[in-house]
Amino acid sequence: MKGFKFYERILGAFHDHPTVSKLVVLSSVSGGGLLAFSDNNQSQNLISDSAQGECKKKKVVVLGTGWAGTSFLKNLKSSSYDVHIVSPRNYFAFTPLLPNVTNGTVEARSIVEPIRSIVRKKNFKVEFKEAECYKIDPVKKKIHCRSRHAKNLGGNDEFTMDYDLLVVAMGACSNTFNTPGVLEYAYFLKEVEDAQKIRRSIIDCYERASLPNISEEEKKRIMHFVVVGGGPTGVEYAADLHDYAVEDLAQLYPSLKDHLRITLIEAGDHILNMFDARITEFATEKFCRDGIDVKTGSIVTKVSEKDISTKDRKTGQTGSVPYGMVLWSTGIATRPVIREFMKQIGQGNRRVLATDEWLRVEGCDDIYALGDCATIIQRSIMEDVVAIFSKADKNNTGVLDLQDFKEVVDHICERYPQVNIYLQKKKLKNFDDLLKGAQGNDKKKIDIEMFKQALSEVDSQMKNLPATAQVAAQQGAYLANCFNRMEQCEKRPEGPLRFRGAGRHRFHPFRYKHLGQFAPLGGEQAAAQLPGDWISIGHSTQWLWYSVYASKLVSWRTRILVISDWFRRFIFGRDSSKI
């Protein structure tokens, strides 16, 4: 009983001092690697202080708890706002590990962090409402929300909320390209529930194919898993499914080993076409070795109950592929609520919600949009070229010497990031060189026409940011930082000169810093495209993947859970129960 006493005391300590730092040492299978951490949640809910001064505080409503919204929330430190979060999901999900959930390598619960746990650590009041915003009213500054609950809890219920500042971070939905049958028959991989559904569906296929009275042909159909879309998600899922099937399921369903077939259908000429050609090549070869069938240049025209209709992009030849499970991962589309909002604010012709470089929705001063639901419309330098020229030409002489530019060149480069990209591409040292080129190297002064000519090609370097977690997270952190220093920067603006107006912008514009992108390829191998076009492929890259993702996880809790899940998988393999 002495042993029990010891445990009880430890247990008691955990219970009596739940807020004290807990020091946990996990000495794990990893060659004895020692991992120590201390989870310090000194900051408690300070709800009581919200009563005073509430009337002065601006009400910030955040829509969404994905990468952008959660990153905003985590980085928001100023207590001068009354923050409300509205999302149909009361948790943040670490989406890059979703493919791992589909095969049970990682538990669904390990990659999610309840928003209220994050909220709890804030030293100011944050309220969370589990509801979906279905309408934004920028005129009345209101959002309309709908909550879905069981009938006995009141069923669907609607309410409105007003805001002073709105942060739209609702993400996007899957793009079906209006292909018939996709919504009915295909699986997606955007939400945690999607991953769980896919998992059950795969096991369903195996169980169904194991039943008696199933013809050989039907078995082949059921055991054919198709992934549509050769982007990172599709490729990673196909690779993970292959590992799961070959390493684990083959042992449990030995009679189906030879019936398994995995096909990856991509409309473009290559899989992973946003990556370097070396990665694409490596991935294609690896898939070929693994027996994953890669069909490029093939467009899916229809998904029926039991087969997929395809069309070759070049020859126009049509085909029919019988399948058991199909995953649709061909990119994202704008959510209906955002499309509706765009119409209201005169962006009806655009494809995506447009913001300026400060993440403010064009035409709405109080609404910010970030993450997959929005795109930054880079300002064209040619549009502002006259204004820039006249700003530089302080004395209205109509001509500028290089000296005149000294004062504005940094502002130009900050306001129009395409300038620096263009300089880099043309291997020019600086802005002066660009102008010198236009001058023909000898003249000392340039006029507006010469200036226009010098900049005429710069705008070709404007780029849209990719719709990735990395971008969304950086935007969330950027915006939170702006909010944190709002007062300070209103008094003392720190952004570039306003070329079309007076004074300076309040903040530096958002600048994306690309940290690289991974493409796990299965068999404990991965590819990575790191900044500066560094390429890394192989087993060590998979370990890099493990360490980067472990370090990027949202909390110590999820970090430990995911790491221990990985170890469980190494030891026990993946589970095949239909749970």
> Binding to a second copy (CB under 8 A): which residues in 229-248?
247
Contact of 195 with 237, CB cutoff 8 Å? no
Burial of 317: CB neighbours in 10 Å, binned 0-12, 13-18, 19+? exposed
Q: Which of 133, 165, 222, 412 binds a second copy (CB under 8 A)?
A: 222
Per CB under 8 A, does 443 bind a second copy? no
> CA angle at residue 532 from 530 to 533, to 5 degrees?
65
Strand partners, 295: 265
Token pair of 469, please? 């977690």
- Least distance between a second copy and beta carbon 451 (Å): 51
The one among 305, 442, 449, 533 contacting a second copy by CB under 8 A? 305
Q: Does residue number 524 form part of the binding site for a second copy (CB under 8 A)?
A: yes
Q: Considering only residues 168, 228, 385, 561, which one is a binding residue for a second copy as defined by CB under 8 A?
A: 561
Residue nearer to a second copy on the CB measure, 284 or 542: 542
121 is a site residue for a second copy (CB under 8 A): no
Q: What is the largest distance, in Å, between two alpha-carbon atoms of the chain?
A: 94
User: With CB under 8 A as the contact rule, which of the stretches 126-134, 358-366, 450-458, 488-496 interacts with a second copy?
Assistant: 126-134
Q: How many residues of this chain interact with a second copy, rule: CB under 8 A?
A: 93
Shortest Å, Cβ 15 to a second copy: 8
Classify the phi-psi angles of 220: left when phi > 0, otherwise alpha if psi is within -120 to 50, otherwise beta. Answer: alpha
Of residues 310 through 339, those in contact with a second copy by CB under 8 A are 324
Residue 112 β-bridge partners? 93
Residues 400, 446 contacting (CB under 8 angstroms): yes
CB atoms within 10 A of CB 505: 20
Q: In the window 146-205, what residues touch a second copy (CB under 8 A)?
A: 147, 149-154, 157, 159, 161, 185, 192-193, 201, 203-205
**In Å, what is the CA distance from 279 to each residue of 230, 284, 331, 518?**
13, 8, 20, 10
Q: Which one of residues 17, 120, 444, 492 is an interface residue with a second copy (CB under 8 A)?
A: 120
Neighbour tally for 163: CB within 10 Å: 23
Q: Tell me if 216 contacts a second copy by CB under 8 A.
A: no
Token pair 């959510």 is found at: 335
In this structure, is the dihedral angle defined by the CA atoms of residues 418, 424, 425 and 431, taken in order, positive or negative? Answer: positive
Smallest distance, a second copy to C-beta of residue 382, A: 48
511 contacts a second copy (rule: CB under 8 A): no
Answer yes or no whether residue 424 interacts with a second copy by CB under 8 A.
no
Window contacting a second copy (CB under 8 A); options: 114-122, 234-242, 288-296, 453-461? 114-122
Which CB, 223 or 388, lies closer to a second copy? 223
Q: Does the footprint of a second copy cover residue 440 (CB under 8 A)?
A: no
Tell me how long the chain is.
579
Residue 12, CA atoms < 13 Å, CB-side half-sphere: 6
The span of 253-261, 381-389, 448-456, 503-511 binding a second copy (CB under 8 A) equals 253-261
Considering beta carbons, is residue 91 or 405 the nearer one to a second copy? 91
Residues 25-84 that bind a second copy (CB under 8 A): 25-31, 45, 47
Please identify, using beta-carbon distances, which residue of 79 and 439 lies nearer to a second copy: 79
**Shortest Cβ distance from residue 557 to a second copy (Å)?**
4
217 lies in the site for a second copy, by CB under 8 A: no
Q: How far is CA 102 from CA 89, 234, 255, 554, in A?
A: 19, 12, 23, 20
